[in-house]
Amino acid sequence: MKDTTKHFDKVLNASKFYNHVDHQPDANKDVIHNGPEISMPYANQNGNYQRNRPVLNKSFANSKFYIIGSGIAGLSTAYYLVRDAQVPGSHITFIEQLHIEGGSMDGSGNAEEGYLIRGGREMDMTYENFWDLFQDIPAVELPHPYSVLDEYRLLNDNDSNYSKSRLISNKGVVEDFSKLGLNKKDQLALVKLLLKNKEDLDDLTIDDYFSDTFKKSNFWTFWRTMFAFEQWHSLLEFKLYMHRFLHDLDGLNDLSALVFPKYNQYDTFIKPLRKFLVEKGVKLQLNTLVSDMNIEIAADGTKVVKSIETIQDGKDTQIVIGKDDYVIVTTGSMTEDSVYGNNTEAPIQKIDNATSGQSAGWKLWKNLAAKSEVFGRPEKFCGDIEKSSWMSATLTCKPSAFVEKLKGYSVNDPYSGKTVTGGIITITDSNWLMSFTCNRQPHYPTQPDDILVIWVYALFMDKDGNYVKKAMPECTGNEILAELCYHLGIEDQLDNVIENTKVRTAFMPYITSMFMPRAKGDRPAIIPEGCTNLGLVGQFVETNNDVVFTMESSVRTARVAVYSLLNLNKQVPDVYPSQYDIRHLLKATKALNDGAPFVGEGLLRKIMKGSYYEHIIPGSAIDENEEKKENFIQEQMSKFHDWMDHVKGKLNL
């Protein structure tokens, strides 16, 4: 590639930065400053300056790339290999265990047999890596030259998202969900958690830190049902979520911070990305399980993949990895071992914890971990399905009593094509902690006009229902409908609902496995120490500050893997810096206090009044009584400090 940069050789040959890029800068350690030793953007400096194409220092035209797993992390890896490493698509091969690409981002079925979506995606505008990718992928329905991002913006810019029925109880009555309901002690606990170092939270759970009053608050109900946290999950991950989505806290109650696609996740994202890659020549080898890899480990710790062991159509096959070839692996799977049911069949009879981590999808990571500790500890995540599982149901609905009830909870008519429920509606007095949502319809491109697709899920897998005295995984689809209708106060119309509703259920043993408590070293680095031709991507690898259970983090790991493994002269910016923005910090403080003035707000308003920065303080000016109260507190504090100074003077301190 020397010929490409010949006009820049004098600069590049003298540069101490060229080919020595920090591909994953850490905003939690980066001290922002300018100086002669700083040549690149600071860690979380997002923007168009980061849209440069890295000029290659070597060609990869003779290299082959094997990507294990074709979920969003694997597909994104191929995209960045093509776009930024200029790898010919024909040199990239996916090896996928399933019969279809997309991994956990599924969307299948039809109106006759019922649609199936195991999970959905609550999206955020600050997914910088995700949108970096999809601003280049051709749109699903808009003509050339528009992209998936263009399509997404067109829809969400003109149809805002919000909920008018976020919480219901008492046979379907909408609760007041305007407040987060945190007392001062629990607000302070959240602030203290934000201040704690990540390294101090190894293996701690949410239960280890928060009080019972916190877990009875609306905040916790909103949080756990929106993000699928349980009290036995990782406190560290909870903290990372707080930092990552600090800018969304004032939209936590009504879900107004979210943006959603027009269709399901497979048709909106996976299908157009797959089409783009296949048109570039990328190959997909489906129905092939990778069971192990032969890795040569030298005395100095250098690790080189020599071959891949696969099972295809019951036959063992070995793929030899050449000296210029690379392997990128998706470790683990949140939807591995999913079990399905329908209207008349339950997915399982009982959760069997003895089967934890025994399925084929965890085999490769376990075999890697057995070779070296640098590959992490998969058993921390797949070893307790009683704590990592939940269940969802997809309802394919013709007009019925349930659809009529749904209309009352919706911000627009469900058949209008606009936002419907605006996200999940949680039934707070449900023993299962059941939630349901109706996204924009149609949810599938070929969905008939008279059909609605509704998604239902619950967090508590070990409790009997309020109406159906069984745990949810043991229930048929019709029994789940009965439980739902009971909570909506329409159980007397159950026959009508069952007659007009196809139900497909999915029990997922590992759906929140990435939330399990962890410590340093449990998740491997994206490029494990010593690896020269192996990268790891997905939900079970270490990032500096990003969170799990988002498409953004999967795309981030793919991008870091490509840039680091091939030593491209380009960095991957850290997460969106809202946590360092005084506007978002003030807004979040106000939100946690349910809009009431925070300590010092009156003084801050006086200082800012009439200035250029007055607008950064959220909400309207505090009322006269609150201002008098705050002035009194300030006056007493001032007197206390004067008294302390007097005492110190007397004692000659």
Based on the domain organization, do 497 and 404 belong to the same domain?
yes
Using alpha carbons, list the distances in angstroms from residue 224 to 67, 86, 174, 229.
33, 42, 19, 4
Within 8 A by CB and 6+ apart from 194, the residues are 239, 242, 243, 579
Residues 560 and 599 in one domain: no
Note the Cα 181 to chain centre separation in Å. Answer: 25
Written as six digits, the tokens of 18 are 């060229």
Domain boundary among 534, 549, 577: 577
Is residue 418 domain-shared with residue 458, that is, in the same domain?
A: yes
Is 573 in the same domain as 615? no
Q: How far apart are CA 324 and CA 533, in angstroms?
A: 8
The residues assigned a catalytic role are: 122, 241
Of 226, 251, 276, the last residue of a domain is 251
Q: Is residue 365 domain-resident? A: no
- Domains identified in the chain, total number: 4
pLDDT reading at 185 higher than 90: yes
- Asked whether residue 610 falls in the same domain as residue 531, the answer is no
366 assigned to some structural domain? no
Strands 390-397 and 108-110: unpaired
Domain that holds residue 247: 180-251
Show the beta-strand stretches assigned E in 138-195: 167-169, 173-174
The domain spanning residue 13 has which CATH number?
3.50.50.60
C-beta separation of 35 from 331 below 8 A: no
- Note whether 600 and 566 are same-domain residues: no
pTM: 0.95
Looking at residues 331-353, what average pLDDT do you find? 95
Q: Per-residue pLDDT tens for 413-455?
A: 999 999 999 999 999 999 999 999 999 999 999 999 999 999 9
Q: Classify residue 363: in a domain, yes or no.
A: no
Model confidence over 200-243: pLDDT tens digits? 999 999 999 999 999 999 999 999 999 999 999 999 999 999 99
Say yes or no: 404 and 502 in one domain: yes
- Predicted confidence band at 361 (pLDDT cuts at 50, 70, 90)? confident
- Give the pLDDT confidence score for residue 3 in this predicted structure: 84
pLDDT, mean of residues 170-180:
98
Q: How confident is the model at residue 313 (pLDDT cuts 50, 70, 90)?
A: confident
Looking at 251, 275, 308, the residue that finishes a domain is 251
Rounded to the nearest integer, the mean pLDDT of the chain is: 95
Asked if 555 and 614 sit in the same domain, the reply is: no
Q: Summarize the confidence of residues 589-601 as an average pLDDT.
A: 95
**In a domain? residue 456:** yes
CB–CB of 385/509 below 8 Å? yes
**Is 24 inside a domain boundary?**
yes
390-397 and 501-508 as β-strands: parallel, antiparallel, unpaired? antiparallel
Q: How confident is the model at residue 520 (pLDDT cuts 50, 70, 90)?
A: very high
Per-residue pLDDT of 454-500, as tens digits, reads: 999 999 999 999 999 999 999 999 999 999 999 999 999 999 999 99
The per-residue pLDDT for range 64-120, each reduced to its tens digit, is 999 999 999 999 999 999 999 999 999 999 999 999 999 999 999 999 999 999 998
How many other C-beta atoms are found inside a 10 Å radius of the C-beta of residue 539? 26
Residue 136 lies in a domain: no
Looking at the structure, do residues 501 and 408 belong to the same domain, yes or no? yes
Please tell me whether residues 407 and 441 are part of one structural domain.
yes
Same domain, 228 and 315: no
Residue 69, domain member (yes or no)? yes
User: Are 467 and 435 members of one domain?
Assistant: yes
- pLDDT over 70 (residue 556): yes
Average pLDDT (27-31) is 94
